[in-house]
Structure 1
Amino acid sequence: MASTSNARGRSLTNFIALIAATGGLLFGYDTGIISAALLQLTPQFRLTTESAEIVTSAVILGALIGCISAAPLSDKLGRRRTIIAAATLFLIGTVIVTYADSVIVLTLARLILGLAIGASSQIVPIYIAEIAPPERRGSLVVAFQFAIAFGQLVSFVTGYLLQDYSWRLMFGLGVIPAVILFIGMLFLPNSPRWLAMQGEFEQARDVLRRVRHSDEAADRELKEITDQHDEKAPLSEVFKPWVRPATIASVGIALLCQLTGVNAVMYYAPTIFADAGFGQSSALLTSVAIGVAMVGTVTFGGWAVDAWGRRTLMLRFIPGAVISLVILGFMFFAGATHGTGAFITAAAIVGYTIFNVGSLSVAIWLVGAEVYPLSCRGTGMSLVAASHWGADLIISLTTLSMVRALGAGGTFWLFAAVNALSFFFVLRYVPETKGRSLEQLEASLRNGTFAPVDRKNAAATAE
């Protein structure tokens, strides 16, 4: 009987993570498809460098607004209902962008899609983290990042296959996962921790008993939740001294995830490579290779975050991203992007994708969803998402201009320096969260043992 219950709970947890992570698939597809669509949109709408950056960045601005707005909604209405609202926005935005007949309508539609993407990035990782058992939380939350990477790969393949067809079809295909997300979420349970925060302890117990291996395990977990149960805290809580280490770690990863250049590569790789003489078809194929690398490395990361640990994974992978970008910058600086040089250039950019996505991009939503106390988890994750999208907005608005001013080689070297900085940030500020319950992480914040380097003990030792 216990074995049957365990299998049932595991299957339900997997299904919940799968449906919720469809929001990540939409996230990846709608942010990635613009890279191929721009090659058609630019001549049709006579886009300049600046207007291309605006169309691309509209989704990022929307995401910034959406993730901030989602925090109070997710705390008031619940994680599940907020995801349903995001799915509705995905549907509306996809229909409008498919039939857009001007730059203004196109930009507005991308803004609506951004609202949905931002809300998803804020709430889906929290929803999964609050339902998943501690020993599987890493892999299940990384399913969201896997869905993002898979969505980007699908968008790159779609862009390549449809390069001789209308960009409208490229955008319109996004309606399929939006419908799956909307319908699927109608049948999923609320987060047990959100229910507990509302005082609905019996409902929280019922959900936990459905997704844990035994009733006893569910009851123990509910007791941990209720022992640390607090009312919803205001925004200022995440800046208080006891929560500040979590804010520094999570927001730092969120900022560095973008400032290290991963989305600059994703959004503009076809344009940069086409300008370097690769040709449109070859440039699009390079994006497909990037997408395959993303899916492969996130799949590995989904295993590594629970086997190695979040912090260990980042510290092992980030140096590879630095080396890859240094090589990539040299190839563009030397103009060696043809013949044999083209293969070295492509290998370097795929290598960068593997090491950067496999570290910071794998960790961002996972660490953000697990380090904050329950009372301010929604607010904290909103801050994480806002930092991510704010940095992404800056990168998407400036990448083509940086390439024009510094050259592709100089731009990639700049990103290499930021990647090196991220290594030392993780080393100093990001703790290992592998295998620890959300309540244990909260306790470490309260007793001052959260940060990997104990400042008080370090100061005492130095004296």
Structure 2
Amino acid sequence: MPEGDAATNISGNKELRGLSGTALVVGASVTAAFGGLLFGYDTGVVAAALPYITDAFDLGETLKQIVTAALLAGAVVGVIVGGSLSDRLGRKKTLTGVTVLYAVATLGSAVAAGTVSLITSRIFLGIAIGISSLVVPTYIAEIAPPKNRGTLVSLHQFMVTVGILFAYLVGYGLSGSASWRWMIAVGIAPAVLMFVGLFALPESPRWLVSRRREREARAVLARARPAEDVDAEITDIVEAVRAEGRITYRELLGTRFRRWISVGVVAAGASQVVGVNAIIYYVPTILEEQGFGKTAAIGVSVAVGIVNVVFTIPALLWIDRFGRRPWILGGTVVIILSLIAVGIVFQFPIQGAAVVWLIVALMVYESAFACSLGIAIWLVNSEIFPNNVRGKAASFGIVTHWGMNLVVSVSVLTLITAMGASAVFWLYAFLGLLCLIYLYRWLPETKNRSLEEIEADLTGEVSVSRAPEGSPPVS
């Protein structure tokens, strides 16, 4: 069969008909990024629903943290199995299964009769979110052209922020009736939309090459790239896949990849140890304990959610122009200063002017996080690893993300009780400073570079002179 007829003769590739070029890449990226919306909605809705779940099931401090953290424990499991699963089944099939699991687990959470069934459902919900959080950025990075990859991968984080805001708005709208079950159940809708949209997605060309399905990969690229770029990209992918072969997790921890896995791990850990989810999950609970009413406390969360969305947009638009390092490192500096300010405000009674200053500090914090560490974990872990081990290698960073998320979630209320809110936020600032120092030294600049070029530099196969200006040396 002639290679040029591949796109119309490959069984199961009906999704390639209709869209082409930029429209195909953007459409596939937006559809996949709905996984971020699912992620954002269910990590955000607990903030609005938890005060009412507490009343319904008479939860104490420990159980509140367990209900919140159950999803995160499941997410750790999801990431652990998600890398191998997506490498074996493909990105598209994996995401399709995830949407089904997500919808079923969301329904289970909404109709839970008691604490045990709620926690169990949230564990399975977390598994779906964990797999999605690994596979979505990987898929987008593998289908996007180098010049737009940063923006398109960052769509995932943008949809996370949209999901969080959507959850806050739903929670605020239903707060008067205390309908926490409906707050949760609304999350089924985006799962259904994503499930339908996935039927139109092409498979990742890089995954297809890794499974010796080069003809199908060429058919995808023929619709997604200018004709003159297809042969060169296929050649790059084939050479990279052949060079890597099959690598075990033990080999990934060897000297060749250890440094770059550590960069992915620190980028992921930094996004959590600065305490963002202490704010996303618990701000209504913390403010309620400071004397706010439930609806007013959720209202503050809505404001945080709006800032989160708005300030993700500049990074989304300009990260491919200005590079990764300026956004990530500069934003982390602002995050640290904001955390120090939040800690200072909590030294005073939260009333009058202190309320205004607290809200301002939270807004600055969230805006800086949205355009720096919020996108760092997904972008860094989707770019710096070799093609056919990306699913496995990226899982180290994503596991760190969810693992540290879990640690923060099960400890924040307890730590606030034991140490006071000021000390807790200052602790997050100190941990953020340690991560900033490491990332300043080792975070590579990857803008406008193919995944194969990044791989070659990070494994020492080309001279340092090819690295972009501002990138730390590879040695």
Deviation at 1:426, TM superposition (A): 1.4
Measure the CA separation in 1 of the matches of 2:147 and 2:347. Answer: 46
Measure the CA separation in 1 of the matches of 2:140 and 2:388. Answer: 17
Match of 1:43 in 2: 55
Match of 2:203 in 1: 190
Match of 2:422 in 1: 409
Among 352, 355, 358, which residue is 2:365 paired with?
A: 352
Match of 1:135 in 2: 147
Measure the CA separation in 2 of the matches of 1:119 and 1:38. Answer: 24
Match of 2:7 in 1: none
> Does the CA-based 8 Å contact 2:268-2:376 persist in structure 1?
no
Match of 1:240 in 2: 254
> Does the CA-based 8 Å contact 2:460-2:474 persist in structure 1?
no
Measure the CA separation in 1 of the matches of 2:291 and 2:435. Answer: 32
Measure the CA separation in 2 of the matches of 1:432 and 1:407. Answer: 39
Listed as ranges, the matches of 1:326-345 within 5 Å are: 326-335=340-349, 337-345=350-358
Give the AA of the match of 1:443: A
Among 61, 64, 75, which residue is 1:63 paired with?
A: 75
- CA-to-aligned-CA distance 1:265-290 (integer Å, 9 cap, x gap): 10000011111122222211110011
Does residue 1:313 correspond to 2:311, yes or no? no
Ranges of 4+ aligned residues in structure 1 off by more than 3 Å: 448-456
Deviation at 1:176, TM superposition (A): 0.6
Measure the CA separation in 2 of the matches of 1:285 and 1:421. Answer: 33
Measure the CA separation in 1 of the matches of 2:314 and 2:41. Answer: 21
> Does the CA-based 8 Å contact 1:27-1:148 persist in structure 2?
yes
> Does the CA-based 8 Å contact 2:339-2:428 persist in structure 1?
yes
Match of 1:261 in 2: 275
Match of 1:460 in 2: none
Structure 2 unaligned spans of 5+: 1-16
Deviation at 1:389, TM superposition (A): 0.5
> Does the CA-based 8 Å contact 2:36-2:133 persist in structure 1?
yes
Match of 1:461 in 2: none
Q: How many residues align?
A: 449
Does residue 1:440 correspond to 2:453, yes or no? yes
Structure 1 SS opposite 2:241: coil
Measure the CA separation in 2 of the matches of 1:69 and 1:148. Answer: 22
Structure 1 unaligned spans of 5+: 457-463
Measure the CA separation in 2 of the matches of 1:65 and 1:271. Answer: 27
Q: Give the direction of change, closer, same or farther, for the CA distance of 1:211–1:415 in structure 2 (3 Å limit).
A: same
Does residue 1:219 correspond to 2:231, yes or no? yes
Match of 1:72 in 2: 84
Give the AA of the match of 1:54: I
Measure the CA separation in 1 of the matches of 2:258 and 2:426. Answer: 32
Match of 1:122 in 2: 134
- CA-to-aligned-CA distance 1:99-142 (integer Å, 9 cap, x gap): 11110110111111101100001101000000000000000000
Measure the CA separation in 1 of the matches of 2:241 and 2:78. Answer: 27
Structure 1 SS opposite 2:252: helix
Match of 1:275 in 2: 289
169-178 vs 405-414, which moves further: 405-414
Match of 2:30 in 1: 18
Deviation at 1:320, TM superposition (A): 1.1
Measure the CA separation in 1 of the matches of 2:240 and 2:50. Answer: 50
Q: Give the direction of change, closer, same or farther, for the CA distance of 1:237–1:452 in structure 2 (3 Å limit).
A: farther
- CA-to-aligned-CA distance 1:320-342 (integer Å, 9 cap, x gap): 1111111111111122x211211
Superposition CA RMSD, Å: 1.5
Give the AA of the match of 1:206: A
Match of 1:289 in 2: 303
Measure the CA separation in 2 of the matches of 1:297 and 1:233. Answer: 39
303-312 vs 27-36, which moves further: 303-312
178-187 vs 41-50, which moves further: 178-187
Q: What's the TM-score once normalised by structure 2's chain length?
A: 0.92
Structure 1 SS opposite 2:371: helix
229-238 vs 290-299, which moves further: 229-238
Deviation at 1:455, TM superposition (A): 7.3
